[in-house]
Structure 1
Amino acid sequence: MGRSAAPFTRPPRAYSAWPTLVKTHLCVGHEFETPTININATLAAIYIIRSPLDVAISFSHHINKTIDATIADMATLNFWIPSRKRHVYEVIGTWSQHVGSWVGLISRPVHVMRYEDMLTNPIRAFGQLARFLRLSPTDQQLMRAIENSSFSELKRQEAEHGFNERPPMAKSFFREGKAGQWREILSPAQIERIVQAHAPMMQRFGYLQPDCGGAITLPTID
């Protein structure tokens, strides 16, 4: 007769003093009367915002749609991405709806980072993030963290090891990582559609000149 197995005992769970960091694409809201984000389990949030003019280009690549179709999706209330083999569907909403749902939280602190500022002045942008997280890195530590998470480094790692969040229809997850590509890619009509749909939120975060309801001055293609 074989030996009987010893009863399984689970080792004591180790609890970290640090909170768990979770990345999400979801907007804050409800789906089938269920919160998309469990605020009761949320200590704070870091929200990265990017100009919808560039988002339209990047997002079209991500979901494998034309730019025109993507612009329409970004203006569709409660827009959601269908489920895939390894991902459940995601409630995104319009670009403005998504931004507003996070920056409008009043029960939790939200640190907003503009994607463009992360590129132009990473020391300042990530230094502010470190302070928000109650960290005190040295200049060398901050620079090393920025270099190790740079777009070129992430793209290199994806080419070497792959990236499990890459949609099956996309050639790569990390594409260009630049700001202002809309000036070279979008047509004047596409720019106008995006601006007309999202002008108030774009103005709030510096993507359009402030305007109190008059005629909107469209950004120009240089």
Structure 2
Amino acid sequence: MEFPLTICFKAKNREEEEQDERIYKTYEQLILTLPDSTKYLPPFSSSSMTKFHQHLRCYHGFWFRPEFVLLGAMAAQDHFVPRSSDILICTPPKVGTTWLKALAFATLNRNDQPCRQSLLLSHNPHICVPSLEYNLYGERRLPELTAVPSPRLLSTHIPYQLFPSSWVSSGFKIVYLCRNPKDTFVSYWHFINKITGEESYHDSLDDVFNSFLKGVHLAGPLWDHVLGYWNASLVNPHNVLFMRYEELKSDPFVRLRRLAEFMQCPFSEEEERQGVLEKILDMCSLESMRNLDVNKNGHTIKHSFKFKNDAFFRKGKVGDWVNFLTPEMAERLDQLMEQKLHNCGLSFND
């Protein structure tokens, strides 16, 4: 199997390269006009983690790092042409995205790649399921996606509210995953600290938490991100599967079956008897993926950031927030989410 990333970035002639450069320069100029997070946040400490949040830009109500997220998101909005057969894994950052990508990839490709031959054994899930704004459109050159065979399994952190009308009307499948906001924040805080190389980062917790409460974080505000996909799932449940990380953890067999059905590749009775679901869940478990050489020693390089793939794998434990947030912090976040999600039919306190 040839990866989408391999197919999409064939050599271009000089005229095509110059055209791409003009397109991305236009986006860069637009980004410079957008509100900067320094105008919305109090002075941070000198840690790399807190400095990370001082350079976010607000685009149509959502916050992004300009150099390796927003640039790609803008290009994807204008140039990604969806197919009705596409499957898009959509998440806020740090809600179990890596796990969901692995499960979806292994399930969708199980006939061509049994678990013992899966590309997941030698490639990080974020390579197997490329992101529109990171891997594909975030490289300052437009990819060629027409040669990628259907169904194309792709991913994004882009909020539903920023989807162009052509995406919404395309009929593609959206698999959305969210997580308890307190665990989401703690996982997010650990991840950003890891990729920014903080040695001792606990002093940054209060700063970043207050930023999170203001909605100033990657793809934030979290409540608006969740609400966009939640409302879309109510309007069009046939095309939007709304999932919770806690449910996936507590009942993975049922949720994996539902995922396969939604992607229109349901497990047969024979596959169930042969233990195919168990094999996929075992291969894609946090422990199994964490111990693969590609995830222990491999690296991801994105512009000025280079970090080990092990940054994608921490505990994955439900309720780990109690080890990091004070009761007062937890109550503040709970009350904020309850206020923002009021009367929408979705709650994280049940």
In structure 1, the residue corresponding to 2:156 is in which secondary structure?
A: coil
Structure 1 counterpart of 2:151, from 5, 9, 19: 19
For the aligned residue pairs, the C-alpha RMSD in angstroms reads: 3.1
For 1:141, the aligned partner's letter is V
2:297 and 2:166 mapped to 1: Cα distance? 31
Instruction: Indicate if the aligned counterparts of 1:29 and 1:101 stay in contact, CA closer than 8 A.
Output: yes
The question of 1:197 aligning with 2:318 is answered: no
The question of 1:115 aligning with 2:245 is answered: yes
Q: Report the Cα offset of residue 181 of structure 1.
A: 0.6
Q: Report the Cα offset of residue 21 of structure 1.
A: 1.2
1:147-162 → structure 2 map (5 Å cutoff): 147-157=282-292, 158-162=294-298
1:73 and 1:165 mapped to 2: Cα distance? 26
When residues 15 and 54 of structure 1 are mapped into structure 2, their CA distance, relative to the original with a 3 A threshold, is closer
2:253 and 2:306 mapped to 1: Cα distance? 34
1:50 and 1:15 mapped to 2: Cα distance? 31
1:23-42 → structure 2 map (5 Å cutoff): 23-30=155-162, 35=164, 38-41=167-170
Q: Report the Cα offset of residue 116 of structure 1.
A: 1.0
In structure 2, the residue corresponding to 1:93 is in which secondary structure?
A: coil
In structure 1, the residue corresponding to 2:312 is in which secondary structure?
A: coil
When residues 155 and 133 of structure 1 are mapped into structure 2, their CA distance, relative to the original with a 3 A threshold, is same
Considering fraction of residues, name the structure with more helix: 2
For 2:317, the aligned partner's letter is K
Scaled by the length of structure 1, what TM-score is found? 0.69
Instruction: Indicate if the aligned counterparts of 1:96 and 1:198 stay in contact, CA closer than 8 A.
Output: yes
Query: Which residue of structure 2 lines up, in the alignment, with residue 46 of structure 1?
Result: 175
Q: Report the Cα offset of residue 59 of structure 1.
A: 0.5
Structure 2 counterpart of 1:185, from 298, 309, 324: 324
Instruction: Indicate if the aligned counterparts of 1:71 and 1:194 stay in contact, CA closer than 8 A.
Output: no
Q: Report the Cα offset of residue 14 of structure 1.
A: 5.6
1:193 and 1:169 mapped to 2: Cα distance? 32
When residues 165 and 194 of structure 1 are mapped into structure 2, their CA distance, relative to the original with a 3 A threshold, is farther
When residues 176 and 165 of structure 1 are mapped into structure 2, their CA distance, relative to the original with a 3 A threshold, is farther
Query: Which residue of structure 1 lines up, in the alignment, with residue 315 of structure 2?
Result: 176
Query: Which residue of structure 2 lines up, in the alignment, with residue 144 of structure 1?
Result: 279
Q: Aligned residues, how many?
A: 182
1:205 and 1:156 mapped to 2: Cα distance? 36
Structure 2 counterpart of 1:100, from 215, 227, 239: 227
Instruction: Indicate if the aligned counterparts of 2:300 and 2:307 stay in contact, CA closer than 8 A.
Output: no
When residues 15 and 180 of structure 1 are mapped into structure 2, their CA distance, relative to the original with a 3 A threshold, is closer
Instruction: Indicate if the aligned counterparts of 1:47 and 1:112 stay in contact, CA closer than 8 A.
Output: yes
1:22 and 1:150 mapped to 2: Cα distance? 20
In structure 2, the residue corresponding to 1:172 is in which secondary structure?
A: helix
For 1:172, the aligned partner's letter is A
Cα deviations by residue, 1:25-51 (Å, 9 ceiling, x for unpaired)? 121234xxx849943556020001100
Instruction: Indicate if the aligned counterparts of 1:165 and 1:173 stay in contact, CA closer than 8 A.
Output: no
When residues 29 and 177 of structure 1 are mapped into structure 2, their CA distance, relative to the original with a 3 A threshold, is same
Q: Report the Cα offset of residue 70 of structure 1.
A: 3.3
Q: Which sections of structure 2, spanning at least 5 residues, go unmatched?
A: 1-145, 194-200
Query: Which residue of structure 1 lines up, in the alignment, with residue 191 of structure 2?
Result: 62
Q: Report the Cα offset of residue 204 of structure 1.
A: 4.3
Scaled by the length of structure 2, what TM-score is found? 0.46
For 1:193, the aligned partner's letter is R
Structure 1 counterpart of 2:210, from 72, 82, 88: 72
For 2:153, the aligned partner's letter is L
Over the matched positions of the two proteins, sequence identity in percent amounts to 23
For 2:206, the aligned partner's letter is D
2:148 and 2:225 mapped to 1: Cα distance? 32
When residues 28 and 60 of structure 1 are mapped into structure 2, their CA distance, relative to the original with a 3 A threshold, is same
